[in-house]
Structure 1
Amino acid sequence: MGAWSKVRRVFTRDANIVTAEDLLSLAREDRLGGRTVHVTNDSALRHSAVWAALRLRADLVSMMPIDVYRQVQGLQVEVPKPPVLISPGGSEVGIKEWMYSTQFDLDRAGNCFGIITERTGVIGPDGRGLPGRIDLVELGEVTVRAKGPQISKYKICGVDYDPWDVWHERQYTVAGFPLGLSPVAYAAWSIEESLNAQQFARDWFGAGIVPSGTLKNTSKTIDRKNAREAKESFRAAVSNGDVFVHGADWEYKPIQAVAQQAQFVEARQFGMGDIARFFGVPGDLIDAAVSGSSVTYANISQRNLQFLIMHLGPAVGRREDAFSRKLLSNPRYVKLNTDALLRMDPQTRAATIAAQINSRTLTPSEARALEDRPPFTEDQYAEFDRLFGSRSVPTPPPTAPTGATS
């Protein structure tokens, strides 16, 4: 049975109650006996590639300034932000921390949840006051009840909440399913392979466990019963690093590592590439580039632009839409300033600004404002005149006389 069929089966059972952990269990099948690592949203963070990918995306999104606009005569005009977009968690949690936490949950589990504890006097689309404070909650504490694509009830820490009292953002959605899909669940096999390689390495180098070897009696033939007893005695002695004591008739030849286990470094390397794809991050940005492949960019701006367009931009756009619909009243809307990600090197930035000034799309005072500098003073203009012989600031083209035609 396919993974998606199992999602629907679990979601429709037990009065349509499903937790975030249920999604993780769907990606796993029965395992053979042995010491393995069970992958969950929390245990996946032990893998450095998972942590790096989640941290990178959450860091960048949290540092993007959030601006609010409205259209005035066809122009985009910035307006003051409501308090919920400045300190959404009250005085204890600012917008940067709140954005980091929510993006982290969205990227690892496909969902983030919060309880709306305060509302403003502005009426939103649902006929209630717009959210004024949103206290985030842990993913594992949330259960939802739904019928088809509509969620009718949230249970958070054992308390029932109506949908209008809960902030819920989704990512990686599919039609007809009210929750976002969890990348950790679908990447569980890749993550588990790497975590088990780490577990083997810890056992081998830390606990001194011998993975395989031969134990031979050189003086007589051993039947099954005696072989089993010898094996159990030997295993009991060496499993915790103790010394195995025997007579002159036993010969032990350790095998340093089973062939597949000896390749745990390679397994981890290739696992990182899989994880980077699941979490929407280029492998080279988390130091997981596969040997023999390389991509060259002219400058850092091109690299960041490619990452924004191909990986991070769609998630940013969906968050802008969610904020605009749920936190603001029409005709206001939210934009995350992605220029914070597209920072250029000084030489490229200077050339770009100069080209905009010369093409009359940017004034010198606006250019200086971008550099957090005040407009030129008359003394500064005079200094330019002394250095270059004329005012080195572009002037607008002459205006045609009234009534003139082109």
Structure 2
Amino acid sequence: MPFVPMRSPHSMISVTGQTARRHSAVWAALRLRADLISSLPIDAFRHTTSGIQEPMPLPPVLRNPTPYMRMMEWVYSSQQDLDTYGNCFGLISNVDGGLFPRFITLVPASEVTVVQKPDGDVRYRIKGREYDRSEVWHEKQYTVPGMAVGLSPIAYAALAISQYVSAQQFAVAWYTQNAIPAGILRNSAKTIKAEEALEAKARFKASVAQGDVFVTGVDWEFSPLQSKSNDAAFLNSMNASAADIARFFSVPVDMIDASQAGTSVTYANITQRNLQLLILHLGPMISRREDAISASLMSGPRFVKFNTDALLRMDPQTRSAMMGQQVRDRLRAPDELRQLDNFEPFTEDQYAQIDRLFTTRRVTVTTPATPVETEGLVDGIES
């Protein structure tokens, strides 16, 4: 889906979906979001009359969206276009018995033109051919009223991206000695002619080109040029640009390894860090994708969910403490939790061993007055 390239008045760098990926912060943000959502398991459910979400098998299109692409790759690729252009498109090549798409072949958003007619009807032009709504999978991410397409983050971040790319080009030109002269070779004893200057320049370059030593008398001086202060400040804008990109793509600055002076956030554990990422940055996007996929690929009370529990993996100690508390609070049975670790239910032999080690024993303590039954530890074993 083409958009008008933005040009910075300072750099005149054209920004497109391809040139934007030369910005390391753009690449990192796109990769992070696509990596995370494509690695989440997808589950199908059905609403029952009792309000319980009953698990169901995934429809074939959510296992193999195309004959040559698995679902993880399909989600990753479509998320890249959603975050770059605000839209993703695919051609529907087959339908199932319920007239739902069976195969959806993704098409690069940069090759799609969306035509919205005055009556609200939408047509799609792909490689010179026109398609109607029923033939095209169209998922939008950043929407506004009255527009048939989502907003493109790249288009709105064009100025920040252009500044960064310009700074990159300046740095390359500087260090390859193309932007400005590398230095000044001056004869302090006399004024030389053009022919002598060219000869001295050639001799100097031939000597130092391979890192050799240049030998001269007291009449020649070489002064390397230094970057101007405003040029150095221009290069510093690359760091500020990375922070802007993180905000445009809704990712934490530290998660794309971009430095931001004066800010530091410490989390107690990885679970808290990922929970913050999920709630503030990924959660709304995941919910929109669940809604779009459920509405277009499922029927009736059926729907799909991305299993975000995979993102909230705990460290072993925290996970063990949580599971133990769930068993003690009678929220989960031990066999349910063992299944999460691919363990079979306890056998009778295992129960017998557990009883031998941990079963409560009742001990009667006799006093001259009346016997009292107590519970406690006997020989170091809980009783």
TM class, shorter-length: 0.7 to 0.9
Q: Which amino acid counterpart does residue 14 of structure 2 have in structure 1?
A: H
Name the structure 2 match of 1:96: 72
Q: Which amino acid counterpart does residue 21 of structure 1 have in structure 2?
A: F
Query: Would you say 1:38 and 2:20 are equivalent positions?
Result: no
Deviation at 1:277, TM superposition (A): 0.4
Map 1:103-114 → 2, pairs under 5 A: 103-114=79-90
Distance 1:214 1:286, change over 3 A: same
Deviation at 1:20, TM superposition (A): 2.3
Name the structure 2 match of 1:56: 32
Find the residue that maps to 2:97 and give its secondary structure: strand
In the aligned structure 2, how far is the partner of 1:287 from the partner of 1:348?
Answer: 27
Structure 1: unaligned runs, 5 residues or longer: 1-18, 123-128, 220-229, 244-249, 392-406
Deviation at 1:209, TM superposition (A): 3.5
Map 1:197-208 → 2, pairs under 5 A: 197-208=167-178
Name the structure 1 match of 2:3: 21
Whether the 8 Å CA contact 2:66–2:104 is kept in 1: the answer is yes
Q: Which amino acid counterpart does residue 109 of structure 1 have in structure 2?
A: Y
In the aligned structure 2, how far is the partner of 1:54 from the partner of 1:354?
Answer: 38
Question: 2:355 pairs with 385, 403, 406, which one?
Answer: 385
Query: Would you say 1:293 and 2:263 are equivalent positions?
Result: yes
Whether the 8 Å CA contact 1:117–1:134 is kept in 2: the answer is yes
Find the residue that maps to 2:21 and give its secondary structure: helix
Whether the 8 Å CA contact 1:113–1:167 is kept in 2: the answer is yes
Structure 2: unaligned runs, 5 residues or longer: 209-219, 362-383
In the aligned structure 2, how far is the partner of 1:252 from the partner of 1:109?
Answer: 51
Return the TM-score normalized by structure 2: 0.81
Deviation at 1:301, TM superposition (A): 0.6
Q: Which amino acid counterpart does residue 162 of structure 2 have in structure 1?
A: E
Distance 1:345 1:94, change over 3 A: same
In the aligned structure 2, how far is the partner of 1:315 from the partner of 1:79?
Answer: 23
Q: Which amino acid counterpart does residue 20 of structure 1 have in structure 2?
A: P
Whether the 8 Å CA contact 1:280–1:311 is kept in 2: the answer is yes
In the aligned structure 1, how far is the partner of 2:276 from the partner of 2:187?
Answer: 64
Distance 1:145 1:373, change over 3 A: same
Name the structure 2 match of 1:370: 340
Query: Would you say 1:191 and 2:167 are equivalent positions?
Result: no
Map 1:156-167 → 2, pairs under 5 A: 156-167=126-137
Name the structure 2 match of 1:66: 42
- CA deviations 1:271-323 (Å, max 9, x no partner) are 11111000000001111131221111111111101110000000000000001
Name the structure 2 match of 1:314: 284
- Structure ID, larger Rg: 2
Deviation at 1:152, TM superposition (A): 2.2
Find the residue that maps to 2:100 and give its secondary structure: strand
- CA deviations 1:205-242 (Å, max 9, x no partner) are 135442698999999xxxxxxxxxx9xx99xx99xx99
Deviation at 1:137, TM superposition (A): 0.7
Taking every aligned residue pair, what percent have the same amino acid on both sides? 51
Whether the 8 Å CA contact 1:53–1:279 is kept in 2: the answer is yes
Question: 1:86 pairs with 60, 63, 77, which one?
Answer: 63
Distance 1:152 1:188, change over 3 A: same
Query: Would you say 1:353 and 2:323 are equivalent positions?
Result: yes
Q: Which amino acid counterpart does residue 267 of structure 2 have in structure 1?
A: Y
In the aligned structure 1, how far is the partner of 2:277 from the partner of 2:257?
Answer: 15
In the aligned structure 2, how far is the partner of 1:251 from the partner of 1:20?
Answer: 55
Q: Which amino acid counterpart does residue 104 of structure 1 have in structure 2?
A: Q
Name the structure 1 match of 2:241: 271
Whether the 8 Å CA contact 1:148–1:177 is kept in 2: the answer is no
In the aligned structure 1, how far is the partner of 2:250 from the partner of 2:20?
Answer: 16
